[in-house]
Structure 1
Amino acid sequence: MAKKILTVGLELASDDVAHEEFTSRASLLDWDIVIFKPLIGEFITYDDQYKGRPSLSDSRSFQLKEACEHWRREIKQAVESGKTVIVFLTAVQEVYIDTGDRQYSGTGRNRATTRIVTPYNNYHSIPADLGPTNTCGTAVRLASKGAEVLAPYWSEFAGESEYNVLLTNRNYPACLITKNGEKTVGVLLRSKSSSGTLACLPNVEFYRAEFLDEKGENWTDEAVQFSARFISAAIALDAALHSAGEVTPQPAWASDPKYSLAAERSLRVDLLEAESQLELAQRNKEDIIEKLQSVGLLRDLLYEKGKPLENAIIDALRLLGFNAQPYKEGSSEFDVVFESVEGRLIGEAEGKDSKAINVDKLRQLAMNIHEDLQRDEVTTPAKGVLFGNGYRLMPPAERDIGFTEKCVTAAQSSSTALVATQDLFRAARYLADQEDASYAAECRKAILNSNGLASFPEAPFAGNEAVSEVGQ
């Protein structure tokens, strides 16, 4: 039966091999051989740095930790289940991640926030404390003991390999060492309970210039031939590792309690307790993720359209102190009806990908106000508000005015307020973090008193709160 092979962090020019991104949540138990590279470049931005290294935002920190913990767990389970996992030891990619802890000092406009960050790197995705140290070289030989099983692979790919790290953990016996100094650059970590192996080997470049066409879009014949050679070598290595490390499965009778050791019984109790704690922690994590996703919906004001934008506007208006909800009865349907002690309003929402909001939506808003006034319980016309998310796919700082000049002129003549949802976001974000009845009232008045473009008052801390970082 053909071996099922999966790559993570690299791709091979072969239809016989599957591929998953580092951000995937795929299980490794469905595969016989896994080829893995711990590359985390997609998580790294250089917008913020601490001690000369990238310092990731809270969201990117969470995503990176979650991805690394996923692969660490999956690789460990795969090896324990008898799989062969080949890890190519790339250079250590060091970053600082947000721990979630904060320190605060000062008040009002002098308030300062300190993020607590901690070092992290791509090797957290590997279930072994290898102690990698960045360096590079190509002069490598097989270790004198325990490396015989690797000899055919190394004979084929020694010239294609380059070590990017030295492994400093002396608890792992070396299978590959530098020719000078005999420093460890490769190890074979065998499972004690199965024939599985974690093979940590010097890096191989799978994206050489000659492997891609001139456009960089398609594999060349050289890439296909190289991949075929590598797949053949990986399958041969897998067979050799299983042959050399064959473990007899425990018979059913051997699990009888009369054969168990006292230490085993104690450890099983500890394991049950640990699993209970893990289950509680996982539930807590899921609850926090759900809350995080719910809170983050306010950001829809920056880039959404349609119903998601309407829902975000309603949430924001409630933070401003309005009683807000969509209205639908019979043939009448309004995006949002909202009121407070200051007055009653009807809003329409519109998002445009790469344009400003034009005058068309004002006509619909006027019709809605007239239709609303025909209801028996309504005695005075509601104020009209057009919520616009113009140029929604562009970063807010790069956007022009989100309404056309004709739309602004028409709104002024009809006493309609024009509210840019990116401005609404700034006000709502402050109120989501800080209870401030006075500021909320000012925001409500800004909408009610605007004819044309509405301008919200500056939030007390907006743009003034200093944020610094400190390492753990």
Structure 2
Amino acid sequence: MKSIVCINHEIPTVHDQIDYLSSESLRDYDIAIFDPAFPNLSRIEFSGGGSCLAIEATEALTKALAHWSAELRGALQSGKTAFILLNEFEQDSAATGSSMKSRNQRTYNTKYIENYSAIPVRIDAKNAKGRKVNVKDGRFRNLYDIIAQITEYRVILTATNDMEVIFSAKDGAAVGSIIRPEGLPGSLVLLPYFSFDTETFTEDEDGRLVWTDQAIQTSHALIGQILAIDKTIRGAAGLTPPPNWIVNARSPALGAAIDVAIADIDAQIEDLNNERSEREQAKSDLAGYTHLLYETGKPLERAITKTLQLLGYEVDTLRIGDLEIDHVIVGPSGKRMIGEAEGKDTSAIDIGKFRQLASNIQEDFAREKVDAPAKGLLFGNGYRLMPPENRGEQFTRKSLTNALLHGTALIRTADLYPVAVHLLDHPEDDDFRTACRAAIEDTAGAIVSFPNPA
């Protein structure tokens, strides 16, 4: 079955939904249903009345408009069908910058933003509301009959030569159409606006709104028509989507055999998709080791943990009250160590991180079950935005002096990366694994020098 996604809109039986401000792609979906309404964003209120979108909101909305225009164009370029729900036309004032005229008076530079600019073809839409909708194209009769009670037109369209009118208002104005943009094999289907967010289709259940059975049934029927219309548009033009009652017509016995064959193929496809997902996850896990070369914060800490585990260490996080230690490390020798990690964009690792490391070691040693202070490890990823071969010394002179004073082992995370790669490629190399652990545990007051892989 073809995959359907809703953007900025909810249909009960469409489980894939994308928020308007999301940067998610439409590549994974066969059919898109798009509502161009602007989301609620922060605004600047003017003392003299009126308002405009805040600068940050303008940036987010401008980015979203460009994103959806590109994504919808990409879908059309791939020959897909995009259904546009013709919500109200919106033109909003948006702040692009500001300046201070006087001490207490700020002025804003603004521009106008239109919601229909998210659609990759020019649509001349004027706001006008009504519920009397005429079906001009018989292929859409069944669809309209399904959603008539929740449908209204909110704009009228100026008909153009490339527009095939499928719905009209009582006076003949176009309120729905098909557009096949020149040079793009896909189709835009412009539908009068509909919404399942009504009293008939929602009910209260333990303090939250849920869809009614009628909403679910209507949604299933609607999606059936969406799929049929998509098939018709992509295939032979002029065919009417089969009505719901056609399923009761007698079918040849050969059809059942074909259904079994299709089900078998679908099962194989699902198995292959699952296998592919597992392989992609494995590849993503491997890519996580590259964080040793350029990351900081939690991503760097996770990569360090995974590499230490490759070396045969047990690595735990200790959280007791206010005490939080990210790396408590114990090896086969029983040696107990505590690690801290830091990355710097354009400089070496300075002495500041030693305070946290020393505090963690002291608080850990104060615990009743700990008999001796743990050895300190400081993992550094200095100059992390530069290629490793072009980096300067990873630790400052003060860091080296302090490491010597406290017996701390300093580890360049970029040096850990080839260690990880070798052990991933040669998991049986226990001699190398043992030599790396010895380098870490025997180094005190200096930078750890790992053995070269055989």
Report the TM-score, using the length of structure 1 for normalisation: 0.47
TM-score by length of 2: 0.49
The structure with higher relative contact order (CA 8 Å, sep 6+) is: 1
